[in-house]
Amino acid sequence: MIIAVDGPSGSGKSSTARGVATRLGLRYLDTGATYRAVTWSAVERGLDLDDTAAVAQRARDLELEISTEPGNQFVIADGTDITAAIREPRISEVVSKIATNLDVRHELVRRQREIIDDAQPSGGIVVEGRDIATVVAPDAELKVHLTADQDARMSRRGAELESGAVTAEQLRDQIVRRDADDSTVSQFMVASDGAVTVDSTHLTLEEVIDVISRLAKEAEAVPRGRNDG
Ligand SMILES: Nc1ncnc2c1ncn2[C@@H]1O[C@H](COP(=O)(O)OP(=O)(O)OP(=O)(O)O)[C@@H](O)[C@H]1O
Ligand SMILES: Nc1ccn([C@H]2C[C@H](O)[C@@H](COP(=O)(O)O)O2)c(=O)n1
């Protein structure tokens, strides 16, 4: 089974997808981490991030290991554990440059599909990102468009960061500007065909996990191809 979760920044995709995978005994793939890993590597090597050919070559050359165990997430790039480093503001601030590089996307979608295929013998996988239902896994048994209003998304991200660590302007940049840039290459601000919209604005994380787990069980009961729309 493949469960695709797409939506804007701060809507709760990672926490929810990880929670659903844990609850249902499935694997979990954070595709955003793959874009962050390429960004980390390009920054570490001092590449010009506007040099699209050089960055795409880095994406192809990067040795990347990404965990699909929901309870033990790690990312290793060229032998270095970058699990924490890819979440640093210096990476979040520039990751959209890498995520809007179409040659990088081509390479990372290829790798994401390989990881998804490898997870099938263990029962399935919950995959979250921006283009999962539309590009990476259009045959997913369940497609969820996870949303929350902009104020909720900004305040969730603010609460997550150390108090006083970011200004309101930096917070807006991490949510609003990033979504505007990222949505030039993927359609995640609206639900794709066949996706169920879950608005998490007034739901707790547990409630969102409950809703999606229930939808997954319903989708599993319907043979592939009969649950479209
Ligand atoms: N339903 C919810 N209610 C309250 N807080 C939530 C809810 N869902 C997630 N959160 C919190 O909001 C923050 C952002 O969630 P998360 O990182 O899962 O979002 P995301 O959509 O994956 O963001 P991004 O795409 O920017 O990585 C986290 O601190 C998380 O614990
Ligand atoms: N399938 C995906 C996943 C992520 N991105 C972009 C969007 C972000 O700018 C960046 C990091 O994602 P995050 O960790 O914040 O979810 O990667 C994308 O374009 N497609």
Asked if residue 229 belongs to a domain, the reply is no
Residues spanned by the domain of 77 = 2-217
Structure tokens at 176: 């609003």
Residue 131 CB–ligand 2 contact under 6 Å: yes
Residues whose CB falls within 8 Å of the CB of residue 212, separated by 6 or more in sequence, listed in order: 3, 5, 16, 20, 142, 144, 198
125-160 residue pLDDT tens: 999 999 999 999 999 999 999 999 999 999 998 888
Asked if residue 209 belongs to a domain, the reply is yes
The more confidently predicted of residues 96 and 161 is 96
Asked if residue 201 belongs to a domain, the reply is yes
CATH number of the domain residue 29 falls in: 3.40.50.300
Say how many domains are in the chain. Answer: 1
Q: Is the ipTM of this complex over 0.95?
A: yes
Asked if residue 6 belongs to a domain, the reply is yes
Q: Which ligand is nearest to the CA of 184?
A: 2
Residue 12 CB–ligand 2 contact under 6 Å: no
Distance 104 CA to ligand 2 centre (A): 12
What is the value of pTM for the model shown? 0.95
Residue positions forming the annotated binding site for ATP: 7-15
Asked if residue 227 belongs to a domain, the reply is no
Asked if residue 150 belongs to a domain, the reply is yes
